[in-house]
Every structure is written in C-alpha cells, then in structure tokens.
Amino acid sequence: MTRLLAFGYVLSSVAVALAWAVARRNRDHQPVAWLLTCGLATDLARRLLHLAILGPAHALFDPEPLTGSARIAGHLDSAIFLAWPATFVAVAVVVFRRRRPWAVGAIYASTVG
C-alpha cells in the first residue's frame, strides 16, 4: 500500500468520525454519516478482497476466467462495488423524499442477486 493510499484511508476515517460526531448532535446529518461510513467500508472491503483473493488469482489465471472461490470473490467484489451507489441513492431518498431507504435496499439486493 502506498503512503498516499494510506493517507486517503486515514482522511476518510477522520471524515467518518467527524460526521458521526455531528450526527449525534443533529439527527438530520445521519444520512451523510451513513454514506461516508458505507464509502469507507466498501473501500476497505474491496481492498482486502483484492489483496487476499483476487490479486493472487489474477496473477495465476490471468488470461483465463476465474473459477471456484476466486469467481465467487469476483462476484462479491461486484456486489460491494455496487453498494456505494445504492447507498448514495438511499441517502437521496431519505434526504429529499423523506422516505425510508428500504425500497432502495430491496432493489439493490434483487439486482445483486
């Protein structure tokens, strides 16, 4: 991991901590805190998935398609990648429409499934 990437994760963690500090004082800021938390969690999860499974699998089977657990990890990576835009839409629904985000979650789950 480069220093710049590590610095980006540190700054993202600080942004999440500050967002939750503000959200504790005013509940109207909770959707943004959830958005930043989801962004950090998806970035970290995808990074770990690439380091542990996908990176070595691509090194071994580069011209061939992934199979077995590496293929499952690839699908999981795609699902995690789509969580960030789904969270963004859910926050927009909560903030602008004043509705619960469960419909967006159901659409995301059916799309990923």
7-45 pLDDT, tens digit per residue, is 999 999 999 999 999 999 999 999 999 999 999 999 999
Share the mean pLDDT of the chain.
91
- Domain residues for the domain of 50 are 3-112
pTM: 0.84
Percent share of the chain, pLDDT over 70: 99
**pLDDT value of position 46:** 94
When divided into structural domains, the chain yields a total of: 1
How many helices and strands, by DSSP H and E, does the chain display?
5, 0
Contacts of 25 (CB under 8 A, 6+ apart): none
Q: Is the pLDDT of residue 1 over 80?
A: no
